[in-house]
Structure 1
Amino acid sequence: MTANLWRVSGLVAAALILLVCLISSIMFGATNFRFATAWQTLMHYDENVREQVIIHTTRMPRAFIAAAIGASLAIAGALMQALTRNPLAAPSVLGVNAGATFFIVFAATVLSVSSLSVLMWISFLGAAVAAAAVYVLGSMGRDGLTPIKIILAGSAMTALFSSLTQAMLVVNKQVLSSVLFWLTGSIAGRSPDMLLAVLPYMIVCWLAACVIARDVNLLLMGEDTAKSLGQRTVVIKTVAAIIIVVLAGSSVSVAGPIGFIGIVIPHISRFFVGMDYRWVIPYCALLGAILLILADLVARFIMIPEEMPVGVMTAMIGAPFFIYMARKGIAKT
């Protein structure tokens, strides 16, 4: 069997696993539902049946929100690692999530903004400001942009935005209770409208990431090599940066800062398909969706009847992986 046939088989297997995860997310939780009930809700929804109402208004949106955000964060992390040539790069590590979070909290607490569409654009702005700041700080000095400098700059911006966010919440304690659960990263209680507001932008970015995948492969060979082959590296970097900002910003606007998906999934994808981003991107989309759905599913059963925020679950999964990659990188130096 050829390599590409193996990769296609892997995509089909991942798609089937994702389908099983979506069904499981709809069926299982504090209250379990039979598959027949879920199927009946999908095909013949009856708003007079309590079980169908719960599935239609809560379980289904939650499952699809988890899938969309998991895919978005994984793709953003893969592109970020390619642009910075740093295996530890991800929206949560380089301050993009923290920047989007700070801008949303600032808008909600200081400006009293409550409109979802407005908060979405504010989230994009925060992600863009954080990404630009990290890039500028990481590019300073004679050596230019290096993997170590970009991580240090990202850590500094994450600490700055996180501190400012906490300071605002301390000053305005009335808002603290309403945003605390959101700040830990959660998809519980999110309405379908929240996903629908950002889904068109996510889909465009998913497709755009697939379109530039071949150019990203050239970029990985080195900027000079890419230029010699006729690639406009500035254009590709700009497009990739816009995709990262939109995917990270839209994810934060819906679910808050969910970390480590963007670190873990790109490495798993490259383990299966190598460095070819024409395959890495679709694998990241499927595996990222699977991981976040499973993390949310496990979070429902740890503290029944209460739920643990899914951001805590992804941190428990991703933190050991982050430490392993950091130690591996240090050992090579």
Structure 2
Amino acid sequence: MTTLRAPRVRVTGALTAALLVLLGLVAASLLIGSKGIPAATVLDALLHFDPTSTDHIFVHDERLPRTVLAVLVGAALGLAGTVMQAVARNPLAEPGVLGINAGASFLVVVGITFFGITSLTGYVWFAFAGALVATVLVYGVGALGREGATPVKIALSGAAANAAFVSLTTTVLLTDTDTFERFRLWQVGSLSGRGADVLAQVTPFLVIGIVLALLSGRLLNTLVLGDDVATGLGQNTAVARAVAGVTVVLLCGAATAAAGPIGFVGLAVPPVARMVAGTDHRLALPCALLFGPILVLAADIIGRVVAWPGEVQVGIVTAVLGGPVFIALVRRR
């Protein structure tokens, strides 16, 4: 009983601390920006919105949706990375590394070029389609052969899919200057300019994906043991992988559509979650749920501070923060 209770006590303490840090970052995100607004005014705008006040409108229409979206996107990417690493049994599995983001980006380019999509709200369905195609392609190719979907084959098929989608995206962009101009601002990964309309469109998908991910802990605990062991324990591996695939598509598709392909969050968060919670995904997933938003919000705030009154896009900052983690994982594994 003591050995079972100890991880839960440790995780409860970590989650409490993470929640306090997250609340502090949410407050900082609402207070820090290119326009200086007193803390009292920000609080008043949240509690008693005045549509005639410029500061209230700015807080209500710009900073609040951006902060909420950062929390949701961070949670989605952290959970997606945790699910993917469990299914692939590979600590380097991540939406960016396995080509999921590249697939979503390619279909967004197709939507801009051939269907005239010009708004962020129009990117959602194309990003979903791209994430779905990439997920099916990577796992389908990785599952070929008698050994099935081994970690090495999944990693190799993901790298190949990522290279293919990047090449196709580049080919389309080189032939259409207008598409390149619209796409380049979205591609870098940014939370700037995302208003309530974008938030309202992607939130249902993100919430469903987050709930599915949190409920899949027991499934992931069996999948990570391998197909033979999972089957011996009575797990239907095909159903479990299908649930995990739908979860990843919802999380990655909605997050990428809203904020662009933000990298390294899904790579850096799961190892930290497992460091705190151990191998039990029922405990690791709630950790990833909070650690992901902490990373994205911190990166977004850093991006606003280092280049004030301008800003560095969150996708660039997460790459800078996540790069050393990636290198450390490669050296360890």
TM-score by length of 2: 0.94
Q: Distance in 2 between matches of 1:175 and 1:117?
A: 16
Alignment match, 1:49: 53
The alignment status of 1:150 with 2:154, answered yes or no, reads yes
Structure 1 residues 123-159: Cα deviation after superposition (integer angstroms, max 9, x where no partner): 1111111111111222234443222222222112112
Alignment match, 1:138: 142
Q: Distance in 2 between matches of 1:126 and 1:282?
A: 27
* Worse overlay, 111-120 or 53-62: 111-120
Structure 1 residues 17-63: Cα deviation after superposition (integer angstroms, max 9, x where no partner): 11111110010122233321121111101122221111111111111
Of the candidates 164, 175, 179, which is equivalent to residue 175 of structure 1?
179
* Worse overlay, 1-10 or 128-137: 1-10
Structure 1 SS opposite 2:191: coil
Q: Distance in 1 between matches of 2:197 and 2:121?
A: 10
Alpha-carbon distance change, 256 to 116 in structure 1, aligned in 2, over 3 angstroms: closer
Percent identity for Structure 1 against Structure 2: 38
1:14 Cα deviation from its structure 2 partner: 1.1
Q: Distance in 2 between matches of 1:280 and 1:53?
A: 38
Q: Distance in 2 between matches of 1:304 and 1:178?
A: 24
1:116 Cα deviation from its structure 2 partner: 5.3
The alignment status of 1:320 with 2:324, answered yes or no, reads yes
Alignment match, 1:210: 214
The alignment status of 1:272 with 2:300, answered yes or no, reads no
* Worse overlay, 265-274 or 315-324: 315-324
Structure 1 SS opposite 2:249: helix
Alignment match, 1:104: 108
Where structure 1 has 5 or more consecutive residues not aligned to the other structure, the ranges are none
Q: Does the aligned pair in 2 maintain the 1:93–1:154 contact within 8 Å?
A: yes
Structure 1 residues 241-272: Cα deviation after superposition (integer angstroms, max 9, x where no partner): 11001100111111110001001000011111
Of the candidates 116, 122, 125, which is equivalent to residue 126 of structure 2?
122
- Which amino acid counterpart does residue 96 of structure 2 have in structure 1? S
Alignment match, 2:170: 166
1:9 Cα deviation from its structure 2 partner: 2.2
Q: How does 1:66-81 map to 2 (within 5 A)?
A: 66-81=70-85
* Worse overlay, 113-122 or 150-159: 113-122
Alignment match, 1:225: 229
* Worse overlay, 162-171 or 288-297: 162-171
The alignment status of 1:199 with 2:209, answered yes or no, reads no
- Which amino acid counterpart does residue 241 of structure 2 have in structure 1? K
Where structure 2 has 5 or more consecutive residues not aligned to the other structure, the ranges are none
Aligned length: 329
Structure 1 residues 59-89: Cα deviation after superposition (integer angstroms, max 9, x where no partner): 1111111110010011000000000000000
Alpha-carbon distance change, 116 to 312 in structure 1, aligned in 2, over 3 angstroms: closer
1:113 Cα deviation from its structure 2 partner: 2.5
Q: Distance in 1 between matches of 2:121 and 2:257?
A: 9
Structure 1 SS opposite 2:115: coil
Structure 1 residues 297-329: Cα deviation after superposition (integer angstroms, max 9, x where no partner): 001122223221111111111122112211211
Q: Distance in 2 between matches of 1:175 and 1:104?
A: 10
Q: Distance in 1 between matches of 2:125 and 2:47?
A: 35
- Which amino acid counterpart does residue 268 of structure 2 have in structure 1? V
TM-score by length of 1: 0.94
Alignment match, 1:311: 315
The alignment status of 1:188 with 2:184, answered yes or no, reads no
Of the candidates 74, 88, 92, which is equivalent to residue 96 of structure 2?
92
CA RMSD of superposed structures (Å): 1.5
Alignment match, 2:41: 37
Q: Does the aligned pair in 2 maintain the 1:181–1:309 contact within 8 Å?
A: no
- Which amino acid counterpart does residue 142 of structure 2 have in structure 1? G
